[in-house]
Structure 1
């Protein structure tokens, strides 16, 4: 390890010299040999062509509309592309950014908080501090679980690092004894993808802060458990925080073979953890190469890396095996659980299969939920291995979760850069992604059914007269008004989702319909349910309601018979002349939904 570290430093110093002599921008006809690495745009002919490119080169983004791939290459690879008949064009803007980050890595610059140059992104240590703070300050809602160790920690540490625990934050109302469905969110399995861990951490913060304040978050944590791993590859992330475009973990078994003095980036050692899963590992036709220095090196065997092992064992501890052993075995329609892996970049929502262009046996249902995510993010949605989407991959985490366990699994490719600017992250990525993650949690109970139904997009309560308009005096009738919408889908890429008229709307009080509470029907505000977007109303009798904050859960059904997930609305009840106390009023003795929960150790041993 020390030999490789010295080599890396020497190579970066050499690169710094090249940077110092290089102009600030790079013309398309400039000699690419002047730099250790270049970002280029390459035109490809068809799907098979881009698959071949991805088998050899570090593909950053693929645009099938223009048949252009964004590729990082060494000077030798630039000329190799030319010799193969391609006409690579230097991407001056992205090359310059890579140069600047390499300069940062050489300088060793550090800041008081956040990733150097990107203060909006917490470091690994800062992220872990946040997780522990959430658990310490809200033990009833959050707990930190050590699910395993990074490669460096398993080796006993190295000179510059002791390695890391891989931590999960589990968020739920733990006072409830019910066994709950799970939404599992993981991020940063590819170290250089800066936005991902921060999105996951901010989602955790939003959940904990929203309990009792946001009606949807409140019912979600009462009836769902959300498990979040912000850093699936902490060793690699630490390298990226220094300005390197590091992708893989830090398994240095073959580091000596990767000592390429012309490109410390392209010659990076390690295993691509998103090619190392034990489902369809290294299958024929996949782009996952067995070259140890490749950015998509699959590892010496399935689940060879401790990070991969930790993730697979952790998911097996709470997800039931809901799918048969054959490729064409479908998952039952009433199966539960959602898994999302956050990546960047290329604004797209991906779902299995990645290892094959053939559709999975649950393609229609996976596509439906994906299009819901596309509504919130504005991203196109496609099966990652299908023609025209991206390119084929094997051994990926989402293929494993769906293929092995039948979990509705997705990859979100966020934004337009690995090191996304903080302004772009805050203004164009964060809010839509958080909304999509919240929806994922809302449908985790039945992700193969609920996304086909309508959403309740607004819900309000009103009364005719009150001293405090935000409160209802117990026994006073109130009007509940909601809007149901069956048309909220993402861009029509790879087919369109059917839109149905609203058929029914109903609500329950303090407990969801699936736990035995009898729903009350709501009527159409205009006299008929006959369009895809409808207002529904009901007069709610509050007689006998205890003082406090009550929760109404509203669901809608479309003409195809599909019920969507509930949306919550708070009602604060007060006694005459009094102010409603800010405490939640819960249902008496709710009947728990019979979800599978195996008893497995969470001490990192699997």
Structure 2
């Protein structure tokens, strides 16, 4: 943790970094920051809920440390002054501010030198910035990775185009010559804003909204039950680089390790993964935006900001729609805030629900089409598990009597459809619906499935080391997660990852990706019944006693079964009900299964013995156990087999499954070479045995003389 210092003690070196930044002046077009592009990392102590509410509403994606009563944020000097004017005492985190300024300066130098040129015609375009920023792929690189994976793993990968971005839709409207991406920017942006972007780095045609889908399609399509799905969206806020990279790297890990890692094999065989780039237009501007302030999509028509800054120049780059406020379930609900009606606002929600082509594309893919006769959504990436009564039997899930949304009907705990996750930066938190307080829901943000969603979040937070707090101390409405749950009943989350919008590749590789890999690895292992399995213990480190075993022999299997893997946090607002507190149970049993998952027909579990675990905590010694068992390979054909282990706690709840490979070799050929049948000794065998015993007895007699 960096040590905060007071503004008056800002070092000369940091001051020099501000003064010497080689970057274009953003004036008022840099998203309402008339400050030469300066970015400060600050820590703000707060004394009460009023101060917390004021600060979190003012600041963009702050991280709230509830225990220390501190807010961590990245701000412009104007926002810092606003905090001071409100009686708060923000402190500059000097080391982190210097790091951010170095990040911005080096990016600006990369732009100026051509280091991030998107070399047209080259097989693999360069990344957002070479060197320290090379870990973040451009939109083109991400889509090229899609194609490469589909070519390498044709049985496990599919690619689907979901729809157009705003720029793409505008290009299609032209009846004569097709305007380029840059042509459309010149139509709306003033020269001062155009000067910020290198025309050569922009594509001629806007990239569409695309999804990469990963799964063992042949195996899954042959089963009667649809596979559970993990649906990710990344980059809905354009300047958030880490989320898209985390999603892509997890997809790549699944495929690269399918043959060598038993858990990767289990996940791809059992689940289906969908990763979607949500805001490709905005991302193209963010790739050149040295201040990383580009958030919304590029809608310069119905969402054009014409307000002028202090220098009289229109704040055109503040135009656009916040796609994560544009979703129709809960759009402009009229609750206690959650989106902005001001076109220039960072959370501007659009002129109508799902007004933006990006929103329409992702929403249609996620939920499919409405079947009025069946009163449900069908054909989407996530199945409809939220039952609709006659009163709410319509695609908007609104009451035919009052016109209000259905806030109180839950999905069954048996929901097997999977989970939706919107990947964001940078508050290190796992959030879930509802995002807004409503009178119809008794000013409560809890959903009918709140207990299940809270436990999922608390388990996930343990693995990625984030807080599980439901809200970030402020309301949100018209979001992806509220729509996924509101229409389909699917557990839905916003995962705020990392510590900064300006995250160095070293931090990303060392911290942000591994943390979230762990979380998604766990979530993949409970996806079969995601509202139920997190109530049971986690199972990890499944190890076979031998790398291979001859058919007919026995082999040991061990695993760690742990029910003490939760991370609890408060809700984020003291005015709403806190999430339920998780209960830690002792481990009651564990079983190993060969080639069939515990819930599959014909699965037979092998009981495992429980013993003390070195990983157990002293306050809950029996909540973590080492499980040991023995697999009899009799009857197993030669080849690779799967061993699955699942533990059950004292509450009777089975939990996450983990896997290991079991390689079986054939028994020696002479083991079956007898003609007596059934393994019994025939008369010839008995005679030979008698003669042999007699010869041995005679030999012993001769040696005794």
TM-score by length of 1: 0.82
Q: 2:414 maps to what in 1?
A: 334
Deviation at 1:39, TM superposition (A): 3.7
Secondary structure, counterpart of 2:508 in structure 1: helix
1:133-164 deviation per Cα after TM superposition (whole angstroms, max 9, x unaligned): 00111110111111111111111153254211
Secondary structure, counterpart of 1:192 in structure 2: coil
Alignment check: 8 A CA contact 1:267 1:294 kept = no
Measure the CA separation in 2 of the matches of 1:540 and 1:215: 17
Matched, 1:194 2:274: no
Q: 2:227 maps to what in 1?
A: 180
Determine which of 351, 356, 377 is the counterpart of 2:432: 351
Alignment check: 8 A CA contact 1:290 1:297 kept = yes
1:452-479 deviation per Cα after TM superposition (whole angstroms, max 9, x unaligned): 10122122222xxxxxx52111111222
Alignment check: 8 A CA contact 2:21 2:105 kept = no
State how 1:183-582 maps to structure 2 within 5 Å: 183-229=230-276, 231-242=277-288, 243=290, 244-253=292-301, 254-255=303-304, 257-258=306-307, 260=309, 267-284=317-334, 285-316=336-367, 317-324=380-387, 325=397, 326-336=406-416, 337-356=418-437, 358-384=445-471, 389-462=472-545, 469-490=546-567, 496-526=581-611, 531-576=622-667
Deviation at 1:38, TM superposition (A): 4.9
Considering only CA atoms, is the larger Rg found in Structure 1 or Structure 2?
2
1:233-264 deviation per Cα after TM superposition (whole angstroms, max 9, x unaligned): 11111111112421111111143515537599
Measure the CA separation in 2 of the matches of 1:91 and 1:524: 52
Measure the CA separation in 1 of the matches of 2:551 and 2:428: 49
Measure the CA separation in 1 of the matches of 2:46 and 2:114: 39
Secondary structure, counterpart of 1:355 in structure 2: coil
Q: 1:68 maps to what in 2?
A: 71
Measure the CA separation in 1 of the matches of 2:253 and 2:104: 36
Q: CA RMSD in A?
A: 3.1
- Relative to structure 1, the CA distance from residue 44 to residue 392 in structure 2 (aligned partners, 3 Å threshold; closer, same or farther) is farther
Measure the CA separation in 1 of the matches of 2:279 and 2:662: 43
Alignment check: 8 A CA contact 1:266 1:295 kept = no
Measure the CA separation in 2 of the matches of 1:87 and 1:535: 50
Alignment check: 8 A CA contact 1:183 1:224 kept = yes
Measure the CA separation in 2 of the matches of 1:84 and 1:498: 41
Deviation at 1:314, TM superposition (A): 0.8
- Relative to structure 1, the CA distance from residue 321 to residue 47 in structure 2 (aligned partners, 3 Å threshold; closer, same or farther) is farther
| Structure 2 unaligned regions, length at least 5 | 1-14, 23-32, 118-125, 172-179, 184-201, 368-379, 388-396, 398-405, 438-443, 572-579, 614-619, 670-705
Between 1:317-326 and 1:233-242, the stretch displaced more is 317-326
1:276-295 deviation per Cα after TM superposition (whole angstroms, max 9, x unaligned): 11111122212311111111
Deviation at 1:267, TM superposition (A): 4.8
Higher relative contact order (CA 8 A, sep 6+): 1
Q: 1:35 maps to what in 2?
A: 36
- Relative to structure 1, the CA distance from residue 71 to residue 86 in structure 2 (aligned partners, 3 Å threshold; closer, same or farther) is farther
Deviation at 1:221, TM superposition (A): 1.5
Q: 2:210 maps to what in 1?
A: 167
Deviation at 1:397, TM superposition (A): 0.7
Measure the CA separation in 2 of the matches of 1:290 and 1:19: 39
Aligned residues: 543
Measure the CA separation in 2 of the matches of 1:457 and 1:512: 15
Matched, 1:100 2:105: yes
